[in-house]
């Protein structure tokens, strides 16, 4: 991929909280990592910015640490609610699925 540089400062989400994972080892790894981030505009800015802040990709924190953790927990709860509503037939599909 011409012109694409992978910076060593890019950090993937770690399986262990508080410990950053190693940077992607190839351009393909980088693209795979970045394609996993799928913000849902219906979640709002706080919930969509929290994972980016937790990964250390912002120049400065915009959310308090405890609010970032709460935002991520909120998103997980909302996703569980949507999955349940789909199983119950109240929604045709979760809102974060592509059309």
pTM of the model: 0.54
Residue at token pair 């709460």? 70
Residue at token pair 């060593």? 8
pLDDT in tens, the chain (99 residues): 444 444 434 444 444 555 555 667 888 877 777 677 677 777 788 888 888 898 888 889 999 989 999 998 888 888 889 889 999 999 898 877 765
Predicted confidence at residue 22, as pLDDT, reads 66
Residues 6+ apart with CB under 8 A from 24: 6, 10, 12, 30, 32, 33
Predicted confidence at residue 7, as pLDDT, reads 42
Alpha-carbon dihedral sign for residues 76, 15, 20, 4 = negative
């Amino acid at each position: 991929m011409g012109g694409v540089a992978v910076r060593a400062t890019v950090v993937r989400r770690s399986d262990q909280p508080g410990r950053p994972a190693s940077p992607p080892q190839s351009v393909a790894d980088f693209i795979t990592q970045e394609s996993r981030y799928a913000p849902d505009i219906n979640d709002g800015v706080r919930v969509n910015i929290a994972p980016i802040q937790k990964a250390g990709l912002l120049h400065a924190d915009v959310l308090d640490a405890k609010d970032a953790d709460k935002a991520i927990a909120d998103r997980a709860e909302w996703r569980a609610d949507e999955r349940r509503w789909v199983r119950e037939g109240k929604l045709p599909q979760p809102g974060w699925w592509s059309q």
